[in-house]
Amino acid sequence: MSIISSQNVITIIRKTLSILNPNIMAHGEIVGYILYKMLEYGQDYSEQEILEYTMLGMMHDIGLYRVDGLDNVADFELKNTWSHSIYGFLFLKYLSPMGDRAEIVLYHHLDYERYGLVKMKYEHVTACLALADKMDSFMRRDKTEMETDYFTRYRDIKVSGKALDIFLEAEKKFGITAKLVSGEYKEELGALLSRSQWSEGYKKSFLEMLVYTIDFRSEYTVLHTMATVNFAVQLGKLMGVGAREQKRMYYGALLHDLGKIAIPLDILESPGKLSDEEMRIMKAHVRITEIILSGLVEPDVLEIAIRHHEKLDGSGYHKGLTEKELTLPQKIVAVADMLSALYGQRSYKPSFESGKIEKILNKDADNYKISKPVVDCLMKNYDNIINNFEEQKGETIGLYLKIKEQYEEIWKKFEGIMQ
């Protein structure tokens, strides 16, 4: 049995991204739904293929999440057409399991008459996504100022005529717009998504993408979750945690800071000590993680995720639990999280050397804050644990740097066809 179902993985992604910006997610779901019905009408794709394209449709604006505090999607999209298309493409290409099809997102704002200027492998789906995207903007056109005859006027210029015909046929057959208005589409979309059957690797990869979307928001947190997972899994093995439990630790550690999606970047990147008010906001991340994950993961995984700031003497948050209520995996993840923060460079501190880390962790263990046996195990194996992490971390940094570099490259490459 798997620890998280495919459907719940999707729900976690939707819930998390909705918290960061509900408008982008709502727009994504409508576009995903329109695309789904268009592809269903064409009957050229299997259900699992349609499902993947629908997911892509839902996440086509994921590149917009790089910018904090947007509320008017339509407005922002116009100004940053290429910027978010490129980021979205790179995120999906390198971080999601759908990498091969990411180009669909790259070209979702490209005018149809320019398709010949670029090499496209998925031209038809790209044209359908672009149309679905414009259709949603058109339906909310008070914000986008599209002319009433937009689609006929720009047939085969801005939008593909073939995609437009498919939409119109699908509209006749399925009543797409009526379902969008009544809200019925949500159920239908949910039913499609519930039929996803993903492998463990595929699910992991989607959740990792979500975590990177959050951690890559700040230079200082690029490695935080990956380091926490790595340290936790190593410590779990060393302390004889069973295989099934180790898996739960993996997921618990992976999801432990999901709630940080709701914390503003200026607090996450604050260079000094946080004020009381800022600290209160920062601490809310645990509660938000709980809201996102409740009912979607096994209770054991949820508890590992939301207890990483609890202290043995009851002085932690958010519940103020004490030692006897905390399990070994929970105590391990709490130490792994601290180690990750101490070892990594943060906005408010440089990376600490081993002597200083040892002193801080031992002091906390002696003061009955974190588990002494876990800290002892860590100290006994310190160099090994750090070396193993150092070997693995290149991969994450590599992804981060690749996205940064390629962003610039793609800008340059497409300068000619951008308008």
Task: Let me know if 7 is exposed, middle or buried by CB neighbors in 10 A (0-12, 13-18, 19+).
Answer: middle
- φ, ψ for residue 98 (rounded to 5)? -105, 25
| Rounded CA separation 281/275 (Å) | 10
Q: How many residues bind Fe ion (CB under 5 A)?
A: 4
Q: For Fe ion, which stretch binds (CB under 5 A), given 152-160, 252-260, 342-350, 401-409?
A: 252-260
Closest by Cα among 116, 117, 135 to 57: 135
Alpha helices in 59-160 (DSSP H): 73-79, 81-95, 103-106, 123-139, 150-153
Cα distances (angstroms) measured from residue 376 to each of 70, 216, 239, 382: 46, 32, 11, 10
What DSSP string runs through 212-247? HHHHTTSTTTTTHHHHHHHHHHHHHHHTT--HHHHH
| DSSP E strand stretches across 263-332 | none
Q: Given the complex with Fe ion, which of 120 and 282 has the nearer CB atom?
A: 282
Please report whether residue 290 would count as binding Fe ion according to CB under 5 A: no
Q: Given the complex with Fe ion, which of 146 and 196 has the nearer CB atom?
A: 146
Select from 10, 12, 55, 61 the one that contacts Fe ion (CB under 5 A): 61
Please report whether residue 310 would count as binding Fe ion according to CB under 5 A: no
Q: For Fe ion, which stretch binds (CB under 5 A), given 72-80, 138-146, 176-184, 265-273?
A: 72-80
Q: For Fe ion, which stretch binds (CB under 5 A), given 58-66, 214-222, 390-398, 409-417?
A: 58-66
Helix (H) or strand (E) holding 179: helix 176-182
Please report whether residue 29 would count as binding Fe ion according to CB under 5 A: no
Q: For Fe ion, which stretch binds (CB under 5 A), given 2-10, 61-69, 184-192, 368-376?
A: 61-69
Min dist CB 195 to Fe ion, Å, is 27
Q: Given the complex with Fe ion, which of 95 and 226 has the nearer CB atom?
A: 226
Min dist CB 282 to Fe ion, Å, is 9
Query: Which 8-state DSSP code applies to residue 155?
Result: B
Min dist CB 45 to Fe ion, Å, is 22
Residue 357: what residue type? I
Please report whether residue 337 would count as binding Fe ion according to CB under 5 A: yes
Residue 56: what residue type? L
Q: Given the complex with Fe ion, which of 77 and 136 has the nearer CB atom?
A: 77
Q: For Fe ion, which stretch binds (CB under 5 A), given 69-77, 239-247, 293-301, 397-405?
A: 69-77
CA angle 85, 258, 295 (to 5 degrees): 115
Q: Given the complex with Fe ion, which of 174 and 352 has the nearer CB atom?
A: 352
Select from 29, 52, 103, 257 the one that contacts Fe ion (CB under 5 A): 257
Q: Given the complex with Fe ion, which of 198 and 212 has the nearer CB atom?
A: 212
Q: For Fe ion, which stretch binds (CB under 5 A), given 121-129, 186-194, 261-269, 333-341?
A: 333-341
Q: Given the complex with Fe ion, which of 132 and 403 has the nearer CB atom?
A: 132
Please report whether residue 136 would count as binding Fe ion according to CB under 5 A: no
Min dist CB 340 to Fe ion, Å, is 7
Please report whether residue 303 would count as binding Fe ion according to CB under 5 A: no
CB 4 within 8 A of CB 296: yes
CB 378 within 8 A of CB 235: yes
- Where along the sequence are the contacts to Fe ion (CB under 5 A)? 61, 77, 257, 337
